[in-house]
Amino acid sequence: MAIEVTQGDITQIPVDAIVNAANEGLKGGGGVDGAIHRAGGPDIMKECRQIGHCPTGEAVITTAGELPAKKVIHTVGPVWNDGNKNEEELLANAYRNSMKVADENGLMSISFPNISTGIYGFPKEKAAQIAIETVKGFLNNPRRDFDVKFVCFDNENLEIYQKILNEK
Ligand code: AR6
């Protein structure tokens, strides 16, 4: 088991599965979702349309199109409201269900963007704690041999992840 943090564009880093921070309609959008569809080409959207919908906290899988990956796992993080709308549990679900889909499909290396911390406004520090705890929990119980990369785009997230991972 390996967890690492790196900075960059998630569409450029080869792995088995790239996780997308999508919306419930799987309609594409800005942020990392836009970057994934742009770099991966139209086949990803074709499969998203066939699937149609993904509830917050769940995850679905499509082709990776032209991306350097076998599959894209689309998950939907929560929109941050005031913290009393179950946001923390829903974010944990998004990470856990993405890992579960990777596991079910035999995808052993997986990269995550910082789900919900862009347009959806989730506080970054809290989101990073949840992401790391949830992924570690999944990898340890039962023990599983995955390579997980947290791909940070902005410096703030990178520093937060480095701090948390170095502390533990
Ligand atoms: N590679 C890695 N991370 C990226 C990239 C990239 N190329 N581009 C942006 N990020 P966001 P959300 C980071 O807004 O908050 C979309 O419209 C970004 O800096 O992409 O979950 C969807 O369709 C931030 O840290 O996703 C949904 O409607 C992180 O990715 C909505 O946004 C997540 O920011 C989802 O919002």
Question: With bands split at pLDDT 50, 70 and 90, how would you rate the model's confidence at 138?
Answer: very high
Contacts of 29 (CB under 8 A, 6+ apart): 22, 23, 119
Handedness of CA 40, 162, 148, 121 (dihedral sign): negative
Q: Which residues are catalytic?
A: 33
- The whole-model pTM stands at 0.98
Q: Which of 150, 109, 146, 131 is nearest to 5 (CA)?
A: 150
Range name among 70-79, 92-101, 149-158, 159-168 with the lowest pLDDT average:
159-168
What mean pLDDT is predicted for residues 97-112? 97
User: pLDDT at position 168, please?
Assistant: 59
- For residue 24 and ligand 1, the question of a CB distance below 6 A is answered with no
pLDDT at 126 over 90: yes
What is the per-residue pLDDT for 141?
Answer: 83
Mean pLDDT over 82-109 rounds to 97
> Are 74 and 25 contacting, i.e. CB atoms less than 8 angstroms apart?
no
Averaged pLDDT, 24-29: 98
Residue 30 Cβ contacting ligand 1 at under 6 Å: yes
2-167 is a CATH 3.40.220.10 domain = yes
Return phi, psi of residue 137, to 5°.
-60, -45
The alpha carbon of 142 and the centre of ligand 1 are apart by a number of angstroms equal to 30
Domain positions in the chain: 2-167
For residue 157, the ligand 1 atom closest to its alpha carbon is 25
Condensed to tens digits (0 to 9), the pLDDT of residues 28-68 reads 999 999 999 999 999 999 999 999 999 999 999 999 999 99
Of residues 4 and 142, more confidence is placed in: 4
